[in-house]
Structure 1
Amino acid sequence: MNTHTPAALLAALLLAAPAVGTSAADAGPVVPTPATTLRLTVTGPAPATIAPSPESTAAPAPAARTVTLHCDPAGGDHPRADAACADLDASQGRVDRESDTACVLLYDPVEVRAEGVWHGRPVSFARQYGNTCELNARTGAVFAF
């Protein structure tokens, strides 16, 4: 009976494989860097500059924006990838954290979602904030796009 798990076999192969462009004699152990890839979505706040049409009394739905964030190295289509990755690293992968920032008590809700992995750990985060000030104070540059 084979007692080796597929993960253990893969780890042994990765550690034994030489780096590209080197021979097995001069290659040190290959330790893969855990990946960080997050799909980030911000919905809201509701557009304040668009008045409902005379035919409809419903307010327009808030627009959703989605970007991809990669870290180590920072990249993706997040406009502030370096700062977002630094914020995640500083909080050890927590998207939401405590803040001393005082925000105006204006209710203009913003919904956010983060799905993916941070340093190999699964991330699934969804929350609604009262306004963009609260969002920025609690999440830093992560949802600043």
Structure 2
Amino acid sequence: MRYITGAVALGAALVLGTLATTAQAAAPAQPARSGGLYAPTELVLTVGQGESRATATVQRAVTLSCMPGARGSHPDPQAACTQLRAVAGDFNAVTATPSDRLCTKEWNPFVVTADGVWQGKRVSYSYTFANACAMNNDLDAVFAF
């Protein structure tokens, strides 16, 4: 009698375990907590004085998030996200915008950087301008902070 009771308990445990596993497998997948249907876009943008990312002294830094809406500590996140979307996240296109304004040819370098994720892809970008005038000429909304 003792063996029959043990066999029934073991059988019941196996059936319950199988049902629990089947219920978990049949449950619908939950959307990711990182913004649902949107690929994440979270960036840290900096402006520093120096010749390279490694040697520059950071003067300003802001955060920028573009998905699902524009937000962050950037002073105009909507305009910055709009500019980045227009060039498909190509930071070279942002920093290479020509200007008609004349600047001196002094070498007093400024570095802009962008690190983080743009539409789900890792981004690490830096660009060195000859001086502050050249930097302010060539930048639109993204690095204007």
Could you state the TM-score of these two structures normalised by the residue count of structure 2?
A: 0.62
Instruction: Provide runs of 4+ in structure 1 moved above 3 Å.
Output: 136-139
Q: Distance in 2 between matches of 1:66 and 1:101?
A: 24
Contact 1:115 1:123 in 2 (8 A): yes
Matches within 5 A, 1:1-145: 13-14=29-30, 32-44=37-49, 64-72=59-67, 73-97=69-93, 98-102=96-100, 103-107=102-106, 108-145=108-145
Structure 1 residue 63 displacement after superposition: 5.2
Distance 1:143 1:41 in 2: 8
RMSD: 2.7
Once the 2 structures are TM-superposed, how far is the Cα of residue 115 of structure 1 from its aligned partner? 0.4
Cα shift at 1:13: 1.8
Q: CA deviation at 1:141?
A: 1.1
> C-alpha distance in 1, partners of 2:58/2:121?
29
**Structure of greater Rg:** 2
Distance 1:96 1:135, change over 3 A: farther
Unaligned runs of 5+ in 2: 1-24, 51-55
CA contact (8 A) 2:45 2:64 kept: yes
Stretches of structure 1 lacking an aligned partner (at least 5 in a row): 1-8, 18-30, 46-60
CA distance in 1, matches of 2:72, 2:132: 23
Distance (Å, rounded) in 2 between the aligned partners of 1:132 and 1:96: 18
Q: Distance in 2 between matches of 1:85 and 1:91?
A: 10
